[in-house]
Structure 1
Amino acid sequence: MYLESYLNSIPLHQKSSIKEVSKSFIDKLKKTDPKQKTRNTLLLGNVQSGKTGKVLGLVSSLADENYKFFIYLTTDSVDLQRQTFERVKNSLQEFSVLSENDIHNFDSLFRLNSPLIVVLKKNSRILKKWRDTLSSKSYLNGYQLIIIDDEADAASLNTKTNSNKGISTINSLLADIKNTCNQSIFIEVTATPQAILLQNNNSDWYPEFIQYFEPGDGYISGNFVFTEPESFITHFINEESENAKDESSEIPEGLNQALKSFIVTCADFYLSSQNNCNFIVHPSVRISDHQAFADKIIEHLNAMAFALNDGIDLSSEFLPIWKDLKKTKPDINHFEDIYQTVVTILENQFIKINILNSKAETTFDISKHYNIIIGGNVISRGLTIPKLQTVYYSRTSKAPNADTFWQHSRIFGYDRERSLLRLFIPNDIYKFFVELNIANNLLIKQSYDKNQEKIQIIYPSKIQPTRKNVLDDKSLRLLAGGKNYFSDNPDQKNLNQVNLLMDDLDDFPQENKDLYQIESEFMISILEALGTYSKWDWDVSKFISCINAIKSKRPSLKYYLLVKNNRKISKGTGTMLSPNDRKIGDTKSNDIILTIYQVTGDIESNWDGNPFWLPNIKFPTNMIFWDVDS
């Protein structure tokens, strides 16, 4: 009943996806233990992909399953909480909907037959007030509470995991709210789940299952923006922060090209009666840089306006920009019309400059007019930028966190005119985002797997998956590429199992008499045949899950098996590979190589007296596999 009512209020093309996601989520929920005090789940989406609409569909489906009480958590933003409250109120018209200041109406509305949903921001004062109120309602012991935590990886996790200072305030308050009812279902919603998936499996925040929801038709994602070779939208620029801060210098060339591309796009929009178009400038995290870039842009806009007032023709500066945009939008307005509109835009100062950061946040409306938004961290989570057509991005970091930087991808979304979309970015930063996109696709692919406990998070060594203060150092397990892993305590009864597979080696090409290029499935078969090992010694299950994960990340990856017989090696030597075999492994630094020695197993070498297979494995260099001890 509630789902059907909600579906009647949304566009037809969204209905089937919402029904499918809701059904799949509830089916998975029914397979969890209903007697648990708290069940954590994860809703995985994409940046700016319309997660809220699907979440409200799920809330409606859960109401049809007779869940009555819901809390919807937003990030600690007054505007976002208000926006979410209005969205929930307008979309769930058969629900009782409370905002964070409506606490006085809770008792009377809860007693009604309709389901109740409260929209709160993750603010310690607000959460404490509601925790204390809910804890005092003894009648809630008879109910189950559904908590929807939007951007759950951002502020909800314990930021004091590795310190002796207890639990962070927001995390502690949310834990208390979970316990205000008889049972709770905690739904973590995010497009960047790295911090959540790297929680200890015994954590009160680790999800029991993952539900991915596809974006809708027309969504512009990383697979369009961050490609190899680069998409047509990409224009590579130099690092320009220092030039922008030099008051005596002219506007940096990359910024100049981005600005003019935006102006021409605005002109085309203007001629098509579209009164909204936006441009993001994300130079760095430093607030001083935001002001420097704003000053350079304002100065350049004024200089062009003054030149036009003096009768100077600037058409030659805009013609190459128009030609570039025409390559991807052949029906763009004629240049003469575009240029006259550019003149109108500049002379009448139609373009608004807005600095958006912790010290200059304002309430300007970017859904109207032609706007340039300059900032850093604030241009990230929760900020939906409509009609975003031009992006200038030059932010760098020595140790970037993948989840933080992926949230900077405000270029993703639905209402962009694809043919006029342009991204101005340094080449090395672009390649960094290509890596993030590959890793993001891998996460999504693994979310479909039935055995979701084996999810691998894979990044180049220079990239951290998330901030370290929310991860338990004692449970974090890293497998580093380029390192040889061999067993100190191998299974000494694996001879026959591995020998059964040796005849199949004739099916694979040889680089020399001992080195074979094999298939990934055959490598997994060898690993499984090698027997039983302690995960702290030689973690076969992790190696296999890494191989399965990396197949999607690097389809061109090669798999090698190096086989040596009749080797005499003493137990506990701390090494295994001969110098020559180590060199062979070094030549395969971009691939996976598994080396197996048939060891004689002599008693005088501290073995059990029988031959067996001793393994060593090495993964591609400059790659790290992250997961947690289960």
Structure 2
Amino acid sequence: MTEQIPRFSIKPKIPNWTDGAQWINWKRHEEFLRAQSKWKPHQVDSVAEESLRIICKTKPIQRLEFQCRGLVVGYVQSGKTANFTAVAARAADVGYRLIVVLSGIHDSLRNQTQKRLNRELVSVGVNWTTLTSESEDFQTPAIANGFDGAGTVLVVAKKTVPILRRINQWIIDLEGQLENIPVLLIDDEADQASINTKGNRKDPSVDDEPEVDSRDPSITNSLIRDTLQRIPRATYIAYTATPFANILIDPDAVDRAVGADLFPKDFVVQLPRPEGYIGTEELFGVAAVGRDVMRAVAENDVRSLKTKRKKKGAPLVIDSEEGLPQSLCDAVLMFVVIGAIRLLRNQTKMPHTMLVHVSHKQVDQIRIGSAIQQHIKGWRDHERVVPGSLRQMLSSALTDLGMVDLPAVRDIVLDEAMINLSRVQVVVLNSLTGEELGYDEKPGCQLIAVGGNRLSRGLTLEGLTVAYFLRTTTMADSLLQMARWYGFRAGYDDLIRIWTTEGIAQWFVELALVEESLRDSITAMNRAGRRPDEMAIKMRSHSDLLLTSKNKSKMLEVSSRSWSGENPQTILFPLRRPDILEHNTGLTAALLTAHTPTQEAYGGSLVHDVPAVRIEEFLRSFIVHDDTLAFRGDLIADWISERTTVGELTSWTIFVANPSRDRQVLLGTRSFGLVHRSLTGAESIGILIDPRHEGVDLHGGPDFYRTGQNYNARAMRQTRPSSHGLLMIYPLDPQPLQAQVRTVIGIALSFPKTSDESQSFVVNRGVNRE
């Protein structure tokens, strides 16, 4: 038998514009990483692969002019800095001359980023010039155009208005001199400050409508956009773990003064979950089952930490005589015990941190930090008066810790905990105190970090085990960013404990599902080969929280469209367009050539185990009538692609109706009988499918779902495994349809119940979903 060559063949590898690059800086950076004990070989391999993937998605640098917009989505505290450091190394190797990293809005994060890039990139690389230092942000260079002989110029800057104005003015001064200076702008924490929360000024020469209520874009957004538009060859890559606001930017937004907005029209890349990463799924999702992480904070304790102002001008006080609620005392004592366990596990030169995040008010943070210090001093003083009292409290904390592997007998752990209490330092992180974490100066510190906004983004709390978290918000992205307990906890992931309220904990449980849905949708878009401006990224909504603030989500549209448990079918046909009908016939013939039905049953022919991607390709290319609303092949294909990322609809059966009739049509390598259907309108039929056909591939067949003369199609769909879909093809007789073609192809699908059936989703209403 001659082997058939399927139409749906694997595409050959497409050359990348980066092929042939001499990866000098990347290789030196790679060597640096491999020399670090904390980097495992496969982790470096992953950074290598992902950084190359991102660079390849940017526009070829050889073009005389281009503007590229991309988005990289990571996990909170998961190594985004490692990725953009590698991307920067590769960017230098392919020819970028200026790399600007916008690193948050606080000095602490900018300084931390600068230090890391100096260590891992500049000091090991080739021909780098830095215009910023570990202690000094961007200042306008004495010689504006000093690129000759400077190699790759690096700027690590805060994303604040004064700094961005300096950078923007520098670029303005260089206007006309940047033709040979390709620029990469990396925007870390890109959903913070960068999003336009105001308006866009119309161009009266283009827009016919009068300018009404038009406002300037927000200042930070405006400065970034203006800087980019002044650079002939510019790539902008946004990095964030909470990209809701970035995805909801208007794709078509243009301001007459500062140009196009920052929508990631060219690409969105989802970084893989790193091995050993502890995130929402591990602490609050399905993977959290069996973990003893959560500790509930009672409402009375929450109220005792809330400040009250008795009257205008009166000082703020804690509504509690004890100063600290018992739950916070318990958390501090457990932190001391956990620190002792880590020390006895030989984690002696590693920082150990506790997070206390209760209020955004600096006066609260200072007061709570002082109260913790006073309690620690009080416990030690009381121990001198009543020997054994402190040991008893630490013993209770060790019991409350639960079942963990102790590195020594209980008494030795308690001995170490008694000593460890004296090592504990309390640091209040805000602009009033001016304190810093200082991990480099204190590598083995036992640190309680009390703070608010400075702890909410980017800043890494090294060795974090205990968190006391009562900060509420109305937005999912803010809540995820404030959760500093995410990250890598090798050797002590069993010691993570979180004190919070039942309500906040439940928010995080649902956030695990929100994150999963978002990442599935990004994966589906990339698998479909679509750009972000061609296919809307669906984001599961949260029942209690906004995904992001309202002024960042003006393009938000709620969409609950799911085909779970449904049976979409074509009943309206473009009968006056023989070219379209012949296209669909040829498309069907190609599919049946690649996957030829061989099993005859129930008035038709079947072929099993067809990959979902073949069904998606078929549906995307199948052309329906312009007035069809219920059956949109491209949208259904997108949905199928999304479901396959969670293990649903991965395997398909194709059923071709094949009645015993003299009138037949050749589809692929064999003939099929034509199905008779009558017109009920100018171009429509009543019902396409035979009800029994939805059960042709189910155990027991359609007769199992038969009652008298009727078939229960709904029961068939409910019984169908979530991993299996059914495509039914009906080659219709063209004569009763008054069509001048060989056949009219009708198609239908039988979908099982899937896990998204009752969920509400959010999409960007400005994205072209055709």
* TM superposition score normalised by structure 2: 0.65
CA contact under 8 A between 1:278 and 1:366: conserved in structure 2? no
Alignment of 1:534-573 (within 5 A): 537=629, 539-553=632-646, 555=648
Q: 1:629 to 1:114 in 2, by over 3 A?
A: closer
State the shift of 1:96 in Å. Answer: 0.7
CA distance in 2, matches of 1:159, 1:208: 22
2:437 paired residue number? 365
SS in 1 for 2:109: helix
Instruction: Say which is worse superposed, 166-175 or 522-531, in terms of deviation.
Output: 522-531
CA contact under 8 A between 2:355 and 2:464: conserved in structure 1? yes
Alignment of 1:146-225 (within 5 A): 146-161=184-199, 164-203=214-253, 204=260, 205=262, 206-214=264-272, 218-225=276-283
Pairing 1:319–2:349 present: no
SS in 1 for 2:105: coil
2:426 paired residue number? 353
2:129 paired residue number? 96
State the shift of 1:160 in Å. Answer: 1.2
Pairing 1:470–2:545 present: no
Q: 1:482 to 1:545 in 2, by over 3 A?
A: closer
State the shift of 1:533 in Å. Answer: 5.9
State the shift of 1:53 in Å. Answer: 3.0
State the shift of 1:223 in Å. Answer: 4.3
CA distance in 1, matches of 2:492, 2:451: 24
CA distance in 2, matches of 1:396, 1:557: 40
State the shift of 1:180 in Å. Answer: 3.0
* 1:444-494 deviation line (CA, Å, top 9, x unaligned): 6447525243363332452433333233438x4633569999999955659
2:337 paired residue number? 264
Q: 1:151 to 1:489 in 2, by over 3 A?
A: farther
State the shift of 1:289 in Å. Answer: 6.4
CA distance in 1, matches of 2:716, 2:284: 32
CA distance in 1, matches of 2:186, 2:251: 20
> What is the identity, as a one-letter code, of the residue corresponding to 1:412?
Y
Alignment of 1:378-457 (within 5 A): 378-397=454-473, 399-401=474-476, 403-414=477-488, 417-424=491-498, 425=500, 426=502, 427-439=505-517, 441-442=519-520, 445-446=523-524, 449=527, 451-453=529-531, 454=535, 456-457=537-538
Residue 147 of structure 2 is aligned with which of 110, 129, 136?
A: 110
1:2 paired residue number? 25
Instruction: Say which is worse superposed, 245-254 or 362-371, in terms of deviation.
Output: 245-254
CA distance in 1, matches of 2:456, 2:627: 39
Residue 86 of structure 1 is aligned with which of 100, 104, 115?
A: 115
CA contact under 8 A between 1:244 and 1:293: conserved in structure 2? no
Unaligned ranges ≥5, structure 1: 510-517, 560-564, 599-609
2:178 paired residue number? 140
* 1:388-434 deviation line (CA, Å, top 9, x unaligned): 1112334444x433x32222232222355334432324342341232
CA contact under 8 A between 1:406 and 1:436: conserved in structure 2? no
Instruction: Say which is worse superposed, 548-557 or 448-457, in terms of deviation.
Output: 548-557
CA contact under 8 A between 1:366 and 1:385: conserved in structure 2? no
2:17 paired residue number? none
* 1:354-406 deviation line (CA, Å, top 9, x unaligned): 3445x656323252322222334432212111111112334444x433x3222
SS in 1 for 2:192: helix
CA contact under 8 A between 2:520 and 2:646: conserved in structure 1? yes
> What is the identity, as a one-letter code, of the residue corresponding to 2:232?
N
CA distance in 2, matches of 1:526, 1:408: 44
SS in 2 for 1:153: coil
CA distance in 1, matches of 2:361, 2:567: 42
Instruction: Say which is worse superposed, 15-24 or 124-133, in terms of deviation.
Output: 15-24
State the shift of 1:170 in Å. Answer: 0.9
State the shift of 1:195 in Å. Answer: 2.2
RMSD, aligned CA: 5.2
Q: 1:527 to 1:208 in 2, by over 3 A?
A: closer
Instruction: Say which is worse superposed, 283-292 or 61-70, in terms of deviation.
Output: 283-292
1:532 paired residue number? 624
Residue 67 of structure 2 is aligned with which of 24, 28, 38?
A: 38
SS in 1 for 2:216: coil
CA contact under 8 A between 2:130 and 2:155: conserved in structure 1? yes
Instruction: Say which is worse superposed, 372-381 or 62-71, in terms of deviation.
Output: 372-381
CA distance in 1, matches of 2:618, 2:182: 48
CA contact under 8 A between 1:489 and 1:533: conserved in structure 2? no
State the shift of 1:278 in Å. Answer: 0.6
2:763 paired residue number? 626
> What is the identity, as a one-letter code, of the residue corresponding to 1:364?
E
Instruction: Say which is worse superposed, 293-302 or 109-118, in terms of deviation.
Output: 293-302
Q: 1:31 to 1:184 in 2, by over 3 A?
A: closer
CA distance in 2, matches of 1:38, 1:536: 37
Unaligned ranges ≥5, structure 2: 1-23, 201-212, 254-259, 305-318, 576-580, 603-609, 653-675, 688-711, 731-743
CA distance in 2, matches of 1:140, 1:213: 32
SS in 2 for 1:104: coil
Looking at CA atoms only, which structure, 1 or 2, has the larger radius of gyration? Answer: 2
> What is the identity, as a one-letter code, of the residue corresponding to 2:380?
A
